[in-house]
Amino acid sequence: MKLRRSMLYVPGNAPAMLRDAHIYGPDSVMFDLEDAVSPREKDSARHLVFRAIRHFDYEGVERVVRVNGLDTPHGHEDVAAVVAAGVDAIRLPKTDCAQDIIDMARVVEAAELRFRRKPGSTALIAAIETARGILNAREIATSSPRLVAIAIGAEDFVTDMHTTRSPEGVELLAARSLLVMAARAAGIMAIDTVFTGVDDEEGFLREVRLAKQLGFDGKSLIHPSQIALTHLVYTPSAQETAKARRVIQAAAEAEARGSGVVSLDGRMIDKPIVERARRVLALAGEVEA
């Protein structure tokens, strides 16, 4: 796995932003060919994103493209272009059921074969944006080995639920929880929705902390200023990191002795505690995620 704490939206029709998106330090950049691009600019945006992926060095930042759905006039061309360019992952919008992912996986597989890309090299991320999608989240999460994450899209979801977003996010709590549980059951990542109040730093931090506490692995972002704040919330404290190192060391010493019992400071350390310690060190950048 890799860290996906921050996934920065970049409009596919903005050449300068396509070129420079990685310099702000996100874990992933997500070039948007869907909602951010008007119908008359779809073809030109696709070409811009193709050239950006093909020719720019993003210095290890994951390159994701949100394509148009396969049920639109642009979806199949989007997939062909970004697979040909060598994209790392495709984000499928408005995923309502497992069949949506199965259909996309087949189209991606055909594109990999056509453009001589390594089979299975293009990952998928499912954006779930409706009540139906949330209720099908478990089936969606297990629908394809290509699927590395599921994400919640709040704006469409609250519209589908006949409500609006509130600062407390109570209207999203059940959906967020169900999505995270589906991701955990499938062994993939969960990505939280965007926060649209770019100037509301306090509100943004409150929402990131909530997402982290619920178990989300990261958040979709709409502005570079949100990246550092997100990483601040997800980065463990020095005390947490030091404790995690001690847990891992105690586990390693027990394994070297051939002992199945791990103890630290007079307390038993079981497997879940060791796994949490590994994640703390991964978030701290001390080991691979």
| Mean residue pLDDT across the chain | 94
Return d(Cα 198, Cα 132) in angstroms, integer. 29
The answer for residues whose C-beta is within 8 angstroms of residue 163's C-beta and 6 or more apart is 171
Virtual torsion, Cα 73, 78, 79, 84, nearest 10 deg: 140
Return d(Cα 165, Cα 90) in angstroms, integer. 27
Same domain for 18 and 47? yes
Same domain for 213 and 270? no
Structural domain of 245: 238-283
Tens digits of residue pLDDT in 214-232: 999 999 999 999 999 999 9
pLDDT of residue 254: 77
Return d(Cα 15, Cα 32) in angstroms, integer. 12
Same domain for 252 and 220? no
pLDDT tier, 282 (very low <50, low <70, confident <90, very high otherwise) = confident
Tens digits of residue pLDDT in 92-131: 999 999 999 999 999 999 999 999 999 999 999 999 999 9
Same domain for 145 and 255? no
Same domain for 211 and 269? no
Return d(Cα 128, Cα 87) in angstroms, integer. 21
Residue 246 is given by DSSP the state H
Give the total number of structural domains in the chain. Answer: 2
Same domain for 131 and 194? yes
Domain presence at residue 288: no
Pick the closest to residue 196 from 160, 153, 162 (CA basis): 153
- DSSP E strand stretches across the chain: 6-11, 28-32, 62-66, 89-92, 123-128, 147-152, 189-192, 218-221, 263-264, 267-268
